[in-house]
Amino acid sequence: MKLITVIIPAYNEEKALPMMFTRLDNLIKNNPKYDFEFLFINDGSRDKTLDILRKASETDPHISFLNFSRNFGKEIAVAAGIDHANGDAVVIMDADGQEPPELIPEMISWWEKGYDDVYAKRKTRAEGWFTRLTSWGYYRTIQLMTRIPIQVDTGDFRLFSRRAVLALRQLPETDRQNKALFSWIGYKKKSIDFEQQKRVAGKSRWSFWKRLNLAIDGITSFTIAPLRLATMAGVLVAFAAFVYIVVVIIQYFTGISRAEGYSTLLAVVLFLGGIQLIGLGIIGEYIGRIFNETKGRPLYLVERFHRAKIAREHSEKKSKELDQ
Ligand code: UDP
Ligand code: MG
């Protein structure tokens, strides 16, 4: 039997977990042809999330959990899941119930047909218009800057084949944005539609500023196009200045009267100052990234890892097969 590992990052999800357990039980019952392992990543929750996971894993042979030493953020939690998932296929899913586990069988069926990355695409979004508008703008911008196709209206909810998982494990960067990494690895991709649901409990941790930061991280970790943009802006401004100088000289020699202006001078100086600061900021972003990367720190620290019985049996069977 094939093992499907479902990675579920959880940060303060005590209210959502009981309902998630029932839905996952149904998943097992309705799909007897597969073994399921549910690998929860407790990302430094401050509520009872860890207690609930520990208790559930004592009786339920399907539940694995990995406890971080502190909160590292969802992107890192997913990376840890990818590192620890042994399934033949691996699904990434939120703990809050916004992404329906009922969609997993459909993902599996596409995987069986040979796809490596089956990702869920939101048909309707449970978010407000402002979030939708800014995220649309973001995708347009990033897509203009890169040749790699970026999937729009997708979250991290998806299934990866074994080889896609092995590919993702080779991407060790510190400043990560999952979606960019998932696009980068390539392989055969397939999108399926789903309706995004409302959060069961609690509220989303994504404020506008967090989103903005994620967007900047996404762009700067994915492409160096902004550096090129700064160069081009510089060339453009220098060219305009050159043309203006020629005009001034002609005016001087032909005796055409010129308007003398203190305010225009100030405007130009401020404009150029602004462009220079933006250029410096962009360079700074990339230097900061180099700084983070050169430290060579581990992505996360694990406090405890419990592997589900079902997953242990699978790896024992696999190593026995290899011995024969
Ligand atoms: N999450 C996490 N670490 C964090 C924040 C969130 O592991 O620091 C988990 C959270 O428990 C949930 C998923 O990531 O399972 C998505 O989080 P959230 O619902 O806040 O984001 P949204 O659905 O609004 O994108
Ligand atoms: Mg959510």
pLDDT in tens, 257-276: 767 777 777 777 888 888 88
Q: What number does the ligand 1 atom closest to the CA of 8 have? A: 15
234: CB partners within 8 A, 6+ apart: 275, 279
CA distance 266 to 259: 14
Ligand nearest the Cα atom of residue 11 = 1
CA distance 156 to 158: 6
Cα 116 to ligand 1 centroid, rounded to whole Å: 24
Closest C-alpha residue for ligand 1 atom 13? 94
Cα 10 to ligand 1 centroid, rounded to whole Å: 7
204 lines ligand 1 (CB under 6 A): yes
* Residue to mutate (ligand 1; options 94, 98, 122; most atoms within 8 A of CB): 94
Mean pLDDT to the nearest integer, 305-319: 86
Identify the band that residue 203 occupies on the pLDDT scale cut at 50, 70 and 90. low
Greatest mean pLDDT range, 48-52, 186-190, 210-214, 215-219: 48-52
pLDDT for the residue 111: 94
Overall residue count recorded for the chain in this entry: 324
26 lines ligand 1 (CB under 6 A): no
Closest C-alpha residue for ligand 1 atom 19? 204
- Reported as a single tens digit per residue, the pLDDT across 209-249 is 877 887 887 788 778 888 888 888 888 888 888 888 888 88
* Residue to mutate (ligand 1; options 6, 7, 11, 132; most atoms within 8 A of CB): 11
pLDDT for the residue 213: 80
Mean pLDDT to the nearest integer, 96-114: 90
pLDDT for the residue 248: 81
Cα 126 to ligand 2 centroid, rounded to whole Å: 10
Percent of the chain at pLDDT exceeding 90: 34
- Reported as a single tens digit per residue, the pLDDT across 53-84 is 999 999 999 999 999 999 998 899 999 999 99
pLDDT for the residue 91: 96
125, pLDDT greater than 80: no
Percent of the chain at pLDDT exceeding 70: 95
44 lines ligand 1 (CB under 6 A): no
Contacts 24+ apart (CB under 8 A), 127-136: 130/208, 131/211, 134/208, 134/211, 134/215, 135/211
Tokens 């979250």 locate to 155
Q: Provide the residues around ligand 2 (an ion) whose CB is within 5 A.
A: 94, 96, 98
CA distance 17 to 26: 14
* Residue to mutate (ligand 1; options 74, 78, 125; most atoms within 8 A of CB): 74
177, pLDDT greater than 70: yes
Cα 13 to ligand 2 centroid, rounded to whole Å: 10
Q: What number does the ligand 1 atom closest to the CA of 204 have? A: 20
